[in-house]
C-alpha cells in the first residue's frame, strides 16, 4: 500500500510539473502527503478540473490495489476508471486502465514461454475460466458485475499511457462477450 502512495506522489509531481493540477487521496490518513479518500471531495476536485489519484488500495489487508481500482470505479455510474496502481476520476468512469510490465494479457507466461501469444481481446469469463493472471478474481468479478471494461497495457512503452487515456488501442481489452 505504501508503494502505491509513493508512486502516486511521484505521478502527482510529474503531472504538476507540466501544469496539470492534481490531488492524491489515500485510503488511510497520511495528512502530510495526501488527503484521505472522501468521495464527495474527489468529485469536487474533478469538477474543478483537477486530476485525482487514489493510492493505498482500500486501506484493508487481503484486498489488492486491483480490487481498490475496480471498487472506486464501481462506486459511481459509468469518464475514466483507471489502473490497479491508481484510479483517476471515480465519477462517470468508463474503463479500468491496468498499467503493467508486459504488453497485455498472454495465453501463457511470456517470461517462461517464448511462444506465448498476446491476446487482443478477452471476455471476463475467459479470464476466470482460463485462470489468467491479469487481476485478482475479486477485481475481475467486480468489473464483470458492473460491466467495467479493463485495458491491460505496458506502462514502460513511451506513449502508452496517453494512448490508453485517449481510448486508442493498446494492450488487451477485457469486457463483455
Q: What is the pLDDT of residues 67-93, one digit of tens each?
A: 998 988 887 644 344 444 444 434 456
Q: Which of 119, 141, 115 is nearest to 129 (CA)?
A: 141
Q: Which tens digit of pLDDT belongs to each residue from 106-119?
A: 999 888 999 999 99
Q: What is the mean predicted confidence (pLDDT) over 61-67?
A: 90
Query: Which letter does DSSP use for residue 122 in this model?
Result: E
Q: What is the number of residues in the chain?
A: 177
pLDDT at 76: 63
151 contacts 172 by C-beta, under 8 angstroms: yes
83 contacts 69 by C-beta, under 8 angstroms: yes
Which of 46-55, 59-68, 88-97, 127-136 has the least mean pLDDT?
A: 88-97
- Opening angle at CA 63, ends 71 and 15, nearest 5: 60
Q: What is the mean predicted confidence (pLDDT) over 92-110?
A: 87
d(CA 122, CA 176): 8
- Total domains in the chain come to 1
pLDDT at 39: 87
Say whether pLDDT at 152 is over 90.
Answer: yes
Q: pLDDT category, 162, cuts 50, 70, 90? A: confident
Say whether pLDDT at 130 is over 80.
Answer: yes
**Three cell numbers at 78?**
459509468
Say whether pLDDT at 37 is over 60.
Answer: yes
Main-chain dihedrals φ then ψ at residue 82, nearest 5 degrees: -130, 155
CATH code of residue 110: 3.40.1160.10
Q: Cβ contacts of residue 56 below 8 Å, gap of 6+?
A: 1, 2, 4, 5, 26, 27, 28, 30, 68
115 contacts 129 by C-beta, under 8 angstroms: no
- Structural domain boundaries enclosing 20: 2-175
Higher pLDDT, residue 80 or 20: 20
Q: What is the mean predicted confidence (pLDDT) over 23-38?
A: 93
pLDDT at 90: 41
pLDDT at 92: 52
Amino acid at each position: 500500500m505504501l508503494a502505491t502512495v509513493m508512486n502516486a506522489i511521484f505521478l502527482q509531481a510529474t503531472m504538476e510539473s507540466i501544469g496539470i493540477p492534481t490531488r492524491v487521496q489515500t485510503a488511510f490518513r497520511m495528512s502530510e502527503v495526501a488527503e484521505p479518500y472522501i468521495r464527495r471531495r474527489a468529485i469536487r476536485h474533478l469538477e474543478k478540473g483537477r486530476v485525482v489519484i487514489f493510492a493505498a488500495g482500500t486501506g484493508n489487508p487481503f484486498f489488492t490495489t486491483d480490487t481498490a481500482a475496480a471498487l472506486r470505479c464501481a462506486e459511481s455510474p459509468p469518464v475514466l476508471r483507471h489502473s490497479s496502481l491508481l484510479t483517476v476520476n471515480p465519477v462517470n468512469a468508463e474503463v479500468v486502465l491496468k498499467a503493467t510490465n508486459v504488453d497485455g494479457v498472454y495465453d501463457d507466461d511470456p517470461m517462461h514461454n517464448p511462444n506465448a501469444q498476446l491476446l487482443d481481446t478477452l471476455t471476463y469469463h475467459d479470464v476466470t475460466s482460463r485462470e489468467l493472471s491479469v487481476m485478482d478474481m475479486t477485481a475481475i468479478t467486480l468489473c464483470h458485475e458492473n460491466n467495467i471494461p479493463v485495458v491491460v497495457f505496458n506502462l514502460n512503452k513511451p506513449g502508452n499511457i496517453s494512448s490508453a487515456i485517449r481510448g486508442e488501442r493498446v494492450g488487451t481489452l477485457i469486457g463483455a462477450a
